[in-house]
A = this chain, B = another copy of it.
Amino acid sequence: MVKNKSAQGQLDNSFQSGRVVTSYDVARKAGVSQSAVSRCFKPGASVSKKMREKVMKVATELGYEPNAIARSLITKRSNLVAVIISNLTNLYYPEVLAQLSQRLSDRGIRVLLFALDTESHADQVLAQIWQYQVDGVIAAAKLTNDQLAEFEKRQKPLVFYNRFYSNQAVNAVCCDQAEGAYHLVKGLVAAGHQSFGIIGGPDDSVVGRERTDASAACLSTMGTSDVTIVDGSFSYECGGAGVEMIREKRGSLPDAIICVNDMTAIGAIDALRYGHGKNVPEDVSVVGFDGVGPATWASFDLTTMRQPVGRMTEGAVEMLMERMENPDLPPEKRLFAGVFVDGTSAVFA
């Protein structure tokens, strides 16, 4: 009985479930003004020790948490950053997302996630982004020029992740695709490979095209003309399909196959081994790009260029935060060299 009563006593006003506790509730119960409560939750604000203790005690009792929505409305800072990621099923991106999320969260920023199913469809997503008043955007997806212009007009900081717009003044962190491609190609050629296949990305992928083009250009520079190029889709399946297409186009399999990313390379290796009865790397060398987790698995032990994801995500977050503080900073592109991973899926010199 007594217990019940005291329990009810606690429930008096703002404790009833469902009703959200506001700064006014805390203020009333603590016998102070709402502004005082507000100040107690602002670091460095002018509040006496006594006041802070009194307010914090009541706040804890009532389970008060400042309403970030109301705060954003007046401060014009949502502490939200939108992260646009185009295909999470590519094994490379979960890692990127996890790291971005971690680093932003360490800085007191929350992540509003937009997972696109394709590279396009960004328009509805952008409308959402404007509505939610995010403080900035990190995009691992392609945007049109019109969309870029919107960012400009709204002064929203934007940092691209691995989308390099060479002709636009935008912020970006990228892995140096061309340099990586050159490194791989040179090593393959030096090891004596004479004929090459390249399995590229889909039409609309910038990263894919850069890697493919750079590889082809390097091969051409080095005087290799036996090069067969086919399109892919960054997926495991397209690795096998690519191998088949190359074989058809060329008549037989080449000495080495350069894949636009690790997933494709793994698919190619499996197809070569289990579909065509070839040994990798004895019969055919295979190299990839990215350095995803499965690339290091014993079954594949892929020769690849690993992207320094840690430094890239750190760079992206840092650049974005800087521009959230100071929107007038000039656009900047940070280009990170890939890290060569000397696997055993290719004969390499």
* A interface list, Cβ under 8 A from B: 15, 17-18, 20, 63, 65-70, 72-73, 78, 80, 83, 88-89, 91, 93-95, 97-98, 101-102, 105, 110-115, 117, 127-128, 130-133, 150, 152-155, 236, 266-267, 269-271, 273-275, 293-294, 297-300, 327
Contacts and interface: CB of A to CB of B under 8 A. Distances in A.
B298 A274 contact: yes
Contact of A65 (B15, B72, B112, B131): B131
Contact of A133 (B69, B128, B327): B69
Nearest to A15: B153
A275 B131 CA distance: 55
Contacts of A68: 131-133
A113 B101 contact: yes
A115 B127 CA distance: 25
B72 A133 contact: no
Given A67-B73, A105-B114, 18 more contacts: A17-B153, A18-B154, A63-B153, A65-B130, A66-B131, A67-B133, A69-B78, A88-B94, A88-B97, A91-B293, A94-B97, A97-B115, A101-B114, A111-B112, A111-B113, A236-B294, A269-B299, A270-B298
Assembly of this chain: how many copies?
2
Given A69-B69, A69-B78, A273-B298, A17 B155 contact: yes
Contacts of A275: 298
29 contacts: A17-B152, A17-B153, A17-B154, A18-B154, A20-B133, A67-B133, A68-B131, A68-B133, A69-B78, A70-B73, A88-B97, A88-B101, A89-B293, A94-B97, A97-B115, A101-B114, A105-B114, A105-B115, A110-B128, A111-B112, A111-B113, A236-B293, A267-B297, A269-B299, A270-B297, A271-B298, A274-B298, A274-B299, A299-B300
Nearest to A115: B101
Given A69-B132, A91-B91, A102 B127 contact: no
Contact of A299 (B69, B73, B299): B299
A110 B110 contact: no
Contacts of A97: 88, 94, 113, 115
A275 B301 CA distance: 14
A98 B113 CA distance: 10
A18 B327 contact: yes
Contacts of A66: 131
A127 B65 contact: yes
A299 B297 CA distance: 11
A297 B236 contact: yes
